Structure 1
Amino acid sequence: MIESGRSRPTLAQIAAAAGVSVSTVSKVLNGRDDVSPATRKRIDKVLRGHGYTRRGVSVSVAEPAAKTVDLVLSGLDGSWPASVASGMEAAAFEAGLHVVVSVARTGGPEDDSSSDWVDRILGRGTAGVVLGLVEPSPQQLARLAEAQVPCVVIDPLSDPPPGVISVGTTNWSGAYEATTHLLEQGHRRIGLVTGPPQHLYAKARIAGYRSAMAAAGVETPPELVRNGNYDRASGREQVRALIELPEPPTALFICSDHMAIGGYETLTQAGLRVPDDISVVGFDDLPEARWVSPPLTTVRQPLKEMGSIALRTLVRLMRGEHLESMRAELATTLVRRESTRPRVSTDQRPSPKAAGGRG
């Protein structure tokens, strides 16, 4: 039941009272014709009972929480989401906004549409949403547009559709600089561990790596390129596959600090020392990159800045401002620490199997 009195019902409360999802209520409010007559009648009855009329007439349902915006992430594990959320929250505070952080879960115990993340943020009355490593479907984007909720995507997994604003980094340049650094150290067999090959930023990093190798006149045999999932477990697995090659690499460019830390574990188990026996470069510059031993040379993604720029861009969209560009791209930088050194000659470098036997 919806309580009467001074408090006005939210869309979520109306949906609950009518026994439907928030998106169905939104369709009725926007005059959509893809709602059954019986359902429309039931929703209209609840709306009329609480003084709510269609768009263009006075509204008694609680206005969206104009001071609240959402950050929807693919997950909360690790430092990546914390860094992005920190930057976004700081910018939101300056703008007088509050940030609600949630995970883009698309199914509940009964896997019904009411558990969709879009329903949840619309039911909360958000003023705008930033998506981090989340790929919204065309249907989800349409529902946000219908509800007049602006959206900004951080690190889109694929090319955003027309009209969707995105914030990212110079992934190609970062990968090119990391690979060039290893080449300048005398390495020629450089293994690459990147993410799922269909992801936009993984493609850019592979391209940057290949371009640097080609510019140096170095071939990139296919066995030196491995795909992981940006977690430590896949880093362990893919680094193991690389060092067990008949001719293993002398250096590794691992496109995620989490995967690089997993790679460190595999190298230690194999008796290989970083950087004495093999050099390693990561990507992200998470706090963990400074904590491992030796500290990890890595490509810095300005994650906090990405979060703050995404929020400021969202505010401009909320104000109805025109944006000059559909994408903001922040520069990466190579942070040199202690995990790389000039190449060790083959006869000085222990093989993984022989080194592993010492443990």
Structure 2
Amino acid sequence: MAKGTIRLADVARAAGVSQGTASNVFSRPDVVREEVREHVLETAKRLGYAGPSLTGRLLRAGKVNAIGVAAVEPLAYFFDDPWARALLAAVSQVCDANGTGLALVSAKDRQKLDWNIRSALVDGFILLCVEGGEKLVQLTRERQLPFVALALNDDDPSIASISVDNLGGAAAAARHLAELGHRRFAVLATELSHDHVGPVGVDEIRQAIYSTSRDRALGYWQALEAFGIRRQDVPIYETINDKASVEAGLELLFSAPEPPTALLAMSDNIALLAINWLRARGLSVPHDISVIGFDGVPEGGMVEPGLTTMAQPFAEIAQRAVRAILDDAVPGERETIGVTLIVRGSTAAPRQ
């Protein structure tokens, strides 16, 4: 017999024992006499049988005690992006505490992502829906496993999701800077629509595909209007949350006759890139310009000056998401969690 075709029944037959006894040798060895166990194992080794399929056993049991974290990105995204890295660390801690495995499911290519989600040996998925959320939701629904979407850029109430208060958090960020005395603002935005980088106006914000970015812009405007600052007087530059697009936005914003004294960044990653750019050009943060981020990633507390930010409760988000999968208690409606203003050294009153 070819080694690849050996089954448990073949081992039992060759060893002269029942299939039940052979099965116990591999799954419950303590109930089989030692001489019988050794005889069956020797027979299995001679035939080239490595043991029952772990995958098959787990699937038959109905639970594999593992959770998949999925994103429409290359695998490096989980390690390169500060927000994804912080969230993954929080999810990992909850999984460790529960003795639960973790699988990263990711691919930029639709066909590969489809295969990765269909073949992942998990009990459910946590979806990082920063980009391509509709693809993730569709593929995961087809798998018919429980899932929870995070950072969902979709207002569909039928999708189980846990989100942060983007509107209220952004309003608090803008209010903090306005109360310090700033009146010249600019926004470096995360993606509003597909494949666009550059200045955007009021209409583009209203028509934005991605609700996270739209709501943060609306929150900024809401707070600033209370200080007499019109939304059309706050330039917004759409980035793709990377170094090249952030620096292009800064070049444009700081070429204006009256550049901003306060920069509202829709992610900590954007804010940290901006601080590096400003420092390289001899501009002092916060004395020449104040910068505030959004996320609360650990890196924000490690730079000099420390980054003022709206911090997401990563531990709480992770706990809710993991327990929803493990307890088969996926929320029936969208859940929203508040964010917290953390004031550090990157914001101060403007120069007089």
What's the TM-score bracket when you normalise by the shorter of the two chains? 0.7 to 0.9
Q: Is the CA contact 1:195–1:227 (under 8 Å) kept in the aligned structure 2?
A: yes
For the pair shown, the structure with the greater C-alpha radius of gyration is: 2
Preserved CA contact (<8 Å) 2:106 2:116? no
Indicate the residue corresponding to 1:264 in structure 2. Answer: 275
Corresponding position of 2:263:
252
Asked if the contact 2:187/2:234 (under 8 Å) is kept, the reply is no
Identify the match of residue 124 of structure 1 among 102, 120, 123. Answer: 120
Structure 1's 94 and 294: CA in aligned 2 closer, same or farther, altered over 3 A? closer
Deviation at 1:305, TM superposition (A): 2.6
Q: Paired residue for 1:90? A: 93
What is the TM-score with the length of structure 2 in the denominator? 0.72
Query: Residue 135 of structure 1 is aligned with which of 132, 140, 147?
Result: 132
8 Å CA contact 2:67–2:100 kept in 1: the answer is yes
Q: Which of 125, 147, 151 lines up with 1:151 in the alignment?
A: 147
Aligned residue runs from structure 1 range 157-306, under 5 A: 157-160=153-156, 162-197=157-192, 198-221=209-232, 224-306=235-317
Instruction: Indicate the residue corresponding to 1:55 in structure 2.
Output: none
What amino acid is aligned across from residue 188 of structure 2 in structure 1?
A: V
Distance 1:62 1:208 in 2: 46
Return 177-186 or 267-276, whichever deviates more.
267-276
- Tell me: CA distance 1:125–1:308, structure 2 relative to 1, closer, same or farther (3 Å): same
| Contact kept in structure 2, 1:134 and 1:153, CA below 8 Å | no
TM-score (norm 1): 0.71
Corresponding residue to 2:350 among 334, 343, 347: 343
Q: CA deviation at 1:242?
A: 1.1
What residue in structure 2 maps to residue 334 of structure 1? 341
Deviations 1:219-254 (A, max 9, x none): 233561111112233222212211111121111111
Runs of 4+ in 1 over 3 A off after TM superposition: 1-4, 59-65, 93-96, 134-138, 140-147
Are the aligned partners of 1:89 and 1:308 in contact in 2 as well (CA < 8 Å)?
no
Question: Aligned pair in 2 of structure 1 residues 144, 253: CA closer, same or farther (>3 Å)?
Answer: closer
Where do 1:42-53 residues align within 5 Å? none
Change (3 A) 1:304 1:83: farther
| Contact 1:151–1:164 (CA under 8 A) maintained in structure 2 | no
> Secondary structure of the equivalent of 1:221?
helix
Q: Tell me which residue corresponds to 1:32.
A: none
Cα deviation for residue 343 of structure 1 reads 1.7
Q: Which has the higher helix share?
A: 2
Does the residue aligned with 2:257 lie in a helix, a strand or coil? coil
Distance 2:310 2:170 in 1: 8
- Going from structure 1 to structure 2, the CA distance change for 1:91 and 1:118 (only over 3 Å counts) comes to farther
* Structure 2 residue identity aligned to 1:102: V
Change (3 A) 1:180 1:258: same
TM-superposed deviation, 1:207 = 0.4
2:238 & 2:131 partners in 1: Cα distance?
A: 20
Inter-CA distance 72–147: structure 2 relative to 1 (3 Å threshold) = closer
Q: Deviations over 1:160-206 (max 9, x none)?
A: 4x532111111111110110011001111111111112321101100
- AA partner of residue 69 (structure 2): L
Give the whole-Å Cα distance in 1 for the aligned partners of 2:166 and 2:144: 31
Unaligned runs of 5+ in 2: 10-55, 193-208
Q: Which of 4, 7, 10 is the equivalent residue of 1:5?
A: 7
Alpha-carbon distance, 1:143 to partner? 5.2
Structure 1 stretches lacking a partner, 5+ long: 8-58, 108-112, 346-359
How far off is 1:335 after superposition? 0.5
Q: What do you get for the CA RMSD once the two structures are aligned? A: 2.6
Aligned pair count reads 281
Offset, 1:156: 1.0
Going from structure 1 to structure 2, the CA distance change for 1:126 and 1:61 (only over 3 Å counts) comes to closer
The C-alpha deviation readout for 1:33-60, integer Å capped at 9, x for no partner, is: xxxxxxxxxxxxxxxxxxxxxxxxxx99
CA 1:245–1:95: 2 relative to 1, 3 Å: same
Task: Name the CA distance, whole Å, in 1 between partners of 2:344 and 2:138.
Answer: 46
3-state SS of 2:148 partner: strand
Q: Deviations over 1:72-96 (max 9, x none)?
A: 1332213222221222222223444
Change (3 A) 1:167 1:222: same
User: Would you say the 8 A contact 2:313–2:339 is kept in 1?
Assistant: yes
Residue 72 (structure 1) aligned with residue 70 (structure 2): yes
Question: Shift of the alpha carbon at 1:137?
Answer: 4.0
Q: Does 1:103 align with 2:106?
A: yes
